[in-house]
Structure 1
């Protein structure tokens, strides 16, 4: 943009000096925007070299550069004698990935897998075609580059439960050192310090923050600064994988930071399509992949193939390669390699979206000018509202039965100031809301602030299933979530809603004129308002994912018929394939799962070192 062009836009002309000043400012802002996510922030792409000279045989091929794969590849490449290749289906994260407030803006784009669940009679009815939208990250960092950035370990009961089910070495005391290893030194020189940066940020809406803490205190729920062994109950401003106003996914902090190692190669836009087994089906010799949706290539595996593509893509690749339930593969005419329950045990933290209006008819605290100030502040200083998660980082863990120190519900929050229609549009579009419900929420925002609350099942009992939709690798799989197939899940969510009703009636919430928004739903409005029958109907409409799909390549002892991988994460019946992502979780932790996924990768790296008896 030239100074002459700028001058022609105004009725009053400039002699040139001010045009030059404005042009300099614009160029500074554009440079600052480009600096949000420059190419040098990410690992170099080995694709051109591979196309030109072919691929060597690699000791380890890691499929997927997400939260787990980035950590695992980084750790394996610490041994200079091992050659490590990473295949990532996506490319570098976009600028929006770096900006904490813009997490919802990446959904329904090319940097996400845009999955839809199958139709269900029990849930997701408020959304287009009555199907839930399940986005997963398709870029360096994977879903860790598109998630809400919470870093929560879960609790002792979660992992002691894994061990009790026969997964030796996965109890709380076993996994705790691996959580610690990712983010800090473990106090000796055996392993390098972790690379993950964690920070807490003050909420940028102090009145709403104060309301939540005071309101929950009225109900006997403490504010917690650090969860301890004594109790996992309370409201807290959770740590985030965030540093200096920018996301710190493991794709950046582990993989990109160390990608200059000569023994570590990353190929982007490389979608793995098939694992190639030896004739006896006991070893994988190579993995086929499609590069840039154009070139067919193969990477040879010398030691191990490590699958870290996530809870949807990992089982999908195994099924396409002949590893899965025999009857399902027979129906699709896929030659059977191993008969394993791949795709079963699909677990998710289902939530129900509740809406609370605040400060009705009070003058709005934000304006379009504030938005411009926030954008400038972020571009120049990496600070301000765009650099935090606001009240979204305030999370509650509640035991609705009051029968112990462990939660059965997690509450997450997202607030919009009156008139923030752009933010609302991004939110409702991301979830695929039907137009009628979009309009109803927009009407609320005309006169009030809007607080969205997501009571989430911490320990869901219902499990679903993932199956192939055909043998073409481009076809998305069938995702059957089976939310509420176990009636206990519905009963727990009903108690969670009752808690929220009590909270809205506290003095702290009444001080901001809080009230529940009950959208018009003909089917539900036939019941007495806020009765159990009403809320069951409401849940059918406004239940959805919180993006924590897991369990589809279940870890269990090899004597367990539900086992896909053993406790050392080796694929049953196969000598040199390991799976090391959220898909191996036998039960989902009662927390956001990104921290546990990173822990799994750290532990898998140790298994590999031990099994190959390399001096580390």
Structure 2
């Protein structure tokens, strides 16, 4: 059965392996029971991402009959683009086309516990940052691997699904930066509008629910250790507390990933006014002769057919913080000197690609006494596969460990109620491939990887991601060339600002305090020393050791943002106005994480859904105030 492809950590099953007939004598009913079970499991697996779940590819129809002019074209069926397209197509008078560079998600995308398996595949752009000698030194070629989704659902189809809104100060600050109607009181409504839960009959489409939980010993250790250090347990969903440890929810429903590609875009797949062309890579935005109005977009279909579509009203660019600036620069909107050096005619001289921000994370590893935590044996793992395929529950419906997140204000001299550090946790059970899967995904260098393997042979590992919430360092996106096939040129510039280093150091020291709590000592939790020769010159656990460690182990948590910044005319770095319109050009907006003037204090997927909702609202408001046949 070709659909059997869960991962290399889950046994591949074929009908050849299990023909349904035993060599010993049987009256028949025994063989029938086994065959029925196998067919049931295979059918359950194939039902995780069947073709009929997703919008059909309109590309073949276009090739046969040609394309009409669309009112709106959305580039990217990712987190925000799926929301925008779905909302706009709710108006039956508007024809909406979505251009998505990838196809339907694979089965692995739908199973929460194995999301790392989708990296380094055709469903991912496989981007790498430029080498700078200051960060990601412990990874392949000393470059950071920046995974970006290339399928319906975009990066929301390959992420860890954690749903975190950020806090009210994030959005109130956006308004103070000159972006009216982006304060918490404004965006909160959009968050609520998008939301649905298992317990709610909300009209929203974004599914946000609790994950299945396992390993209660880890839960107790984290919450109890934090409590010993004065950090309370709180309910993140209430939004009135911002410091402490909390159980975080995710974009999951009934044990299956719920990207907006599924919950928004696929929801409207039968609307006659909504079309989706898959494997369509946008290459250039077209404008009128004066360069003041978008008229269409060119794209490549199935890697070789060059096509184009005309636009009556607007183009909405939702390709993400890496590819949205790339397409703008390829089309002549960007830094003048950079475009001229590449021979690209300059339409608008704007700071596209600047202000790139990301949540740099430092992974810290705790070795745990395996006798203290019940480990799963092979029978348990087979039970987990069966339980998931039949009921969509169990360990495969979880994300590595209990989904607990910690928020910390690491500056003891500050009384701020808002965090500057975020902690995520990933449990790696001894005797499983969880560590190898993670190391393969991030491409950890051989020497460091071997020291982790050695620790994992003797016990479980708990990986704690120490995440910098409010980075002072900023990077940028540029083009390698004028060829659309080339990836964007990405400068992370991690650790450029000394303040970032000091904040991360405080975040590490807090975990050193956690190690000494009674809760951590009860599990014999101990920080693992990795094999990093340059850092071994310093005393283990000293400030200088950890500063060296940051350079090697620091990497992304895939929260790139800010590269097509919104802001007022007085902000020379702003590319968009507060309604997300490119300055000086009609009919062109951006809706994804790239619009953020400053990155939010948490995972970016939830805020990106909100941005999609806001963009759809702005577009609808603008076009409902004028005739449907009048250009804005």
Which residue among 27, 35, 53 is the counterpart of 1:41?
53
The alignment status of 1:329 with 2:339, answered yes or no, reads yes
Give the CA deviation at 1:328. Answer: 0.3
SS at match of 2:133: coil
Per-residue CA shift, 1:294-315, capped at 9, x if unaligned? 2111111000000011111111
CA contact (8 A) 1:202 1:390 kept: no
- Tell me the equivalent position of 1:577: 588
CA contact (8 A) 2:215 2:373 kept: no
Alpha carbons of structure 1 residues 254 and 7: separation in structure 2 relative to 1, 3 Å: closer
- Tell me the equivalent position of 1:183: 195
SS at match of 2:608: helix
Give the CA deviation at 1:179. Answer: 0.8
Q: How does 1:581-600 map to 2 (within 5 A)?
A: 581-600=592-611
TM-score, normalised to structure 1, is: 0.96
| 430-439 vs 109-118, greater mean Cα deviation | 430-439
- Tell me the equivalent position of 2:70: 58
- Tell me the equivalent position of 2:367: 357
Per-residue CA shift, 1:501-549, capped at 9, x if unaligned? 0001100000000000011211111111111000000111100000000
Looking at structure 2, the residues matched to 106 and 310 of structure 1 have their Cα atoms a distance apart, in angstroms, of 18
Looking at structure 2, the residues matched to 606 and 21 of structure 1 have their Cα atoms a distance apart, in angstroms, of 54
Per-residue CA shift, 1:198-223, capped at 9, x if unaligned? 11135201001110000000001011
Give the aligned CA root-mean-square deviation in angstroms. 2.0
- Tell me the equivalent position of 1:131: 143
Q: How does 1:547-586 map to 2 (within 5 A)?
A: 547-586=558-597
CA contact (8 A) 2:20 2:32 kept: no
- Tell me the equivalent position of 1:408: 420
CA contact (8 A) 1:395 1:410 kept: yes
The alignment status of 1:155 with 2:167, answered yes or no, reads yes
Looking at structure 2, the residues matched to 529 and 120 of structure 1 have their Cα atoms a distance apart, in angstroms, of 25
SS at match of 2:125: strand
- Tell me the equivalent position of 1:383: 393
Looking at structure 1, the residues matched to 240 and 113 of structure 2 have their Cα atoms a distance apart, in angstroms, of 33
Per-residue CA shift, 1:525-584, capped at 9, x if unaligned? 111111100000011110000000011101011232101111111001101100011001
Alpha carbons of structure 1 residues 270 and 451: separation in structure 2 relative to 1, 3 Å: same
Per-residue CA shift, 1:101-155, capped at 9, x if unaligned? 0111100001011000111222101101111100011111111111111111111
The alignment status of 1:464 with 2:481, answered yes or no, reads no
- Tell me the equivalent position of 1:223: 233
CA contact (8 A) 1:62 1:69 kept: yes
CA contact (8 A) 1:62 1:86 kept: yes
The alignment status of 1:607 with 2:618, answered yes or no, reads yes
Alpha carbons of structure 1 residues 373 and 35: separation in structure 2 relative to 1, 3 Å: same
Give the CA deviation at 1:23. Answer: 2.6
| 439-448 vs 159-168, greater mean Cα deviation | 439-448
Give the CA deviation at 1:14. Answer: 5.5
Alpha carbons of structure 1 residues 19 and 8: separation in structure 2 relative to 1, 3 Å: closer
SS at match of 1:572: coil
- Tell me the equivalent position of 2:102: 90
Looking at structure 2, the residues matched to 558 and 256 of structure 1 have their Cα atoms a distance apart, in angstroms, of 38
The alignment status of 1:476 with 2:476, answered yes or no, reads no
**Alignment length, in residue pairs?**
610
Alpha carbons of structure 1 residues 7 and 321: separation in structure 2 relative to 1, 3 Å: closer
CA contact (8 A) 1:351 1:454 kept: yes
Alpha carbons of structure 1 residues 32 and 5: separation in structure 2 relative to 1, 3 Å: closer
Looking at structure 2, the residues matched to 305 and 518 of structure 1 have their Cα atoms a distance apart, in angstroms, of 51
Give the CA deviation at 1:9. Answer: 9.4
- Structure 2 regions of 5+ residues with no counterpart? 2-13
Give the CA deviation at 1:72. Answer: 0.4
Looking at structure 2, the residues matched to 488 and 4 of structure 1 have their Cα atoms a distance apart, in angstroms, of 60
The alignment status of 1:102 with 2:89, answered yes or no, reads no
Alpha carbons of structure 1 residues 24 and 516: separation in structure 2 relative to 1, 3 Å: same
Looking at structure 1, the residues matched to 20 and 48 of structure 2 have their Cα atoms a distance apart, in angstroms, of 31
| 194-203 vs 312-321, greater mean Cα deviation | 194-203
Alpha carbons of structure 1 residues 156 and 4: separation in structure 2 relative to 1, 3 Å: closer
SS at match of 1:412: strand
Looking at structure 2, the residues matched to 277 and 3 of structure 1 have their Cα atoms a distance apart, in angstroms, of 55
The alignment status of 1:68 with 2:80, answered yes or no, reads yes
TM-score, normalised to structure 2, is: 0.93
CA contact (8 A) 2:74 2:318 kept: yes
Q: How does 1:276-425 map to 2 (within 5 A)?
A: 276-360=286-370, 365-391=375-401, 393-402=403-412, 403=414, 404-420=416-432, 422-425=433-436
Looking at structure 1, the residues matched to 417 and 386 of structure 2 have their Cα atoms a distance apart, in angstroms, of 45
Alpha carbons of structure 1 residues 562 and 363: separation in structure 2 relative to 1, 3 Å: closer
- Tell me the equivalent position of 1:189: none
| 194-203 vs 101-110, greater mean Cα deviation | 194-203
Looking at structure 2, the residues matched to 125 and 184 of structure 1 have their Cα atoms a distance apart, in angstroms, of 42
Looking at structure 2, the residues matched to 4 and 65 of structure 1 have their Cα atoms a distance apart, in angstroms, of 38
CA contact (8 A) 1:3 1:20 kept: no
Per-residue CA shift, 1:206-244, capped at 9, x if unaligned? 001110000000001011123545430011111111100
CA contact (8 A) 1:61 1:301 kept: yes
CA contact (8 A) 1:362 1:448 kept: no
| 200-209 vs 107-116, greater mean Cα deviation | 200-209
Which residue among 495, 504, 510 is the counterpart of 1:493?
504
Q: How does 1:494-573 map to 2 (within 5 A)?
A: 494-573=505-584
Alpha carbons of structure 1 residues 301 and 533: separation in structure 2 relative to 1, 3 Å: same
Per-residue CA shift, 1:227-273, capped at 9, x if unaligned? 54543001111111110000111111111011111111111111101
The alignment status of 1:164 with 2:201, answered yes or no, reads no
Give the CA deviation at 1:493. Answer: 0.2
Per-residue CA shift, 1:152-207, capped at 9, x if unaligned? 1111111111111111111111111111110159xxxxxx9211111113520100
Looking at structure 2, the residues matched to 176 and 401 of structure 1 have their Cα atoms a distance apart, in angstroms, of 28
Looking at structure 2, the residues matched to 466 and 331 of structure 1 have their Cα atoms a distance apart, in angstroms, of 15
Which residue among 241, 260, 267 is the counterpart of 2:277?
267
- Structure 1 regions of 5+ residues with no counterpart? 186-191
The alignment status of 1:203 with 2:241, answered yes or no, reads no
Give the CA deviation at 1:25. Answer: 2.1
Alpha carbons of structure 1 residues 4 and 115: separation in structure 2 relative to 1, 3 Å: closer
